Every structure is written in structure tokens, then in C-alpha cells.
Structure 1
Amino acid sequence: MRFLCDVHISFKFVRFLNSIGFETVHVNNILDGFHSKDALIARYADEFGLIIISKDIDFKNDFFIKGSPKKLIKVSLGNMPNQEFQDIFLHEIEKIKSISQSESFIIEVDPSGWTYIILKN
């Protein structure tokens, strides 16, 4: 799996994903950095087969309205320590891996748990 972390996802989380074997980039290190428009980020992720990890509701809306980004993990957990977020993510990693092969999906994590929607297999 390959990830693109949006601006509000920490660099520490990017380093964590890289350390456990997942190629991960932060939006601040590509395109126009934190100035990049959502549509440009989505296009980039779609072109290179990256799963966007974001707290931005606009990506979720664009997923359903425009069909892009094609692969999205929407984080709706508010602010929490990095270690706690890493633990929550690791708990679901096998499920995320199995869904990551789908052509188009959204995964949302919020305080009530994980929601998985696959639009195309």
C-alpha cells in the first residue's frame, strides 16, 4: 500500500507508516506543498495509486460527488496523540490492506469505529 498524507496528518505518522513498510509521502513534500488544492492532490493520488489519508471533509465530499480521490481514508477523530492514532490504525491494517486492492473506496474512522465503503472492486 502507498499513502499520501494530507496537511493535517503529522510527519510523525508519515515516518511511522514508512517504518512499517508502507511507502508514504506528505503533501508538504510534493506538488505545491500545503498550498496544493484538493483537486490537484486527488489527481496526483489517483495517478500514482496512492491512498489519501486526510481529516478534510472536502475529500469525502469530492469522493462521492466527483469520484476523486478514488482511495480515501477519512480521519474524523479530532486531535489525539500520535501514538494513539498509530495504535488505532495498526488495529485495522489487515482490513485496510484487503480493501486497498479495490478500484475505489472510502474508509472513515471516527469515535464510533471504522466504516468501509467500496464503490468498485
Structure 2
Amino acid sequence: MKVLCDVHMPYRLVNQRRERGVDATHVNRILDGSETKDSEVAAFADANAMVLISKDRDFRDSHFLSGTPARLLRVTLGNLSNTALLALFEEHWDALACALAESPRYVELDSGGVIVFETTAHRTSW
């Protein structure tokens, strides 16, 4: 699996996933870094068959309205320490990886665990 961590995700998450054999990249290392527009981040994730990991609700809206990013993991935990965030990723990674293997897919990680939402393929006409 390949993942792209959005700007508000810690670099430690990228390092943790890499240590577990995941091809992980941070958005600050691609395109225009933290200045990259959301639409470009989503397009990059899709073009490279990556799961986008973000806290940004705008990506959720884009996923459901236009189908991009195709695979999105939205972290809805609010403010918590990076150590606590990394512990939750460790605890739930197997379920997350399984849920995100399919595309399109929208998944949330919250204090209760992993929530998988049903999504449909991108509509090309209305």
C-alpha cells in the first residue's frame, strides 16, 4: 500500500508507516509542499494509487462529490498528541489497510476506531 500524508499529519506517522513496510510520503515532500492546493494533492494521490491520510473535511466533501481522492482516510480525532495518534494507527492499522484496499473508499479513524463508509464510483454525468 502507498500512502500520502497531508500537511497536518506528522512526519512521525510517515516514518512509522515506512518502518512497517508501507510506501509513505508526506505532502511537504512533493509538488509545492505545504503550498500545494487540495485539488493537486488529491490528483497526485489518485495518479499514484495512494491513500490520502488527512484531517481536512474538504477532502471528504471532494471524495463524495467528485470521487477524488479515490481512497481517503480522514482522521477525526481532534487535537491529541502525536504519540497518541501513532498508537491509534498501530492499534488499527490492519483494519485500516483492509478497508482501504478497495477503491473508491472513504474511511474515518476516530476515538471509537475505524468507520468505513460506502462510496460509489465517480459520476461522469448527472
The TM-score, its normalising length taken from structure 2, stands at: 0.89
Match of 2:124 in 1: none
Give the corresponding residue for 1:62: 62
Percent identity, aligned pairs only? Answer: 32
- 2:20 matches 1:20: yes
SS of match in other structure, 2:119: strand
For 2:41, what is the secondary structure of its paired residue? helix
User: What's the offset of the Cα at 1:114?
Assistant: 2.2
Counterpart residue identity of residue 15, structure 1: N
Check conservation: 1:6, 1:52, Cα contact below 8 A. Answer: yes
Aligned length: 121
Q: Which runs of 4+ in 1 moved over 6 A?
A: none
1:8 aligns with 2:4: no
Residue 52 of structure 1 is matched in structure 2 by 52
Output the CA distance in 1 between the equivalents of 2:111 and 2:98.
22
Rate the CA distance shift 1:8–1:100 in 2: closer, same or farther, 3 A. same
RMSD: 1.5
The residue that corresponds to 2:94 in the other structure is 94
TM-score by length of 1: 0.92
Q: Structure 1 regions of 5+ residues with no counterpart?
A: none
Is 2:120 aligned against 1:109? no
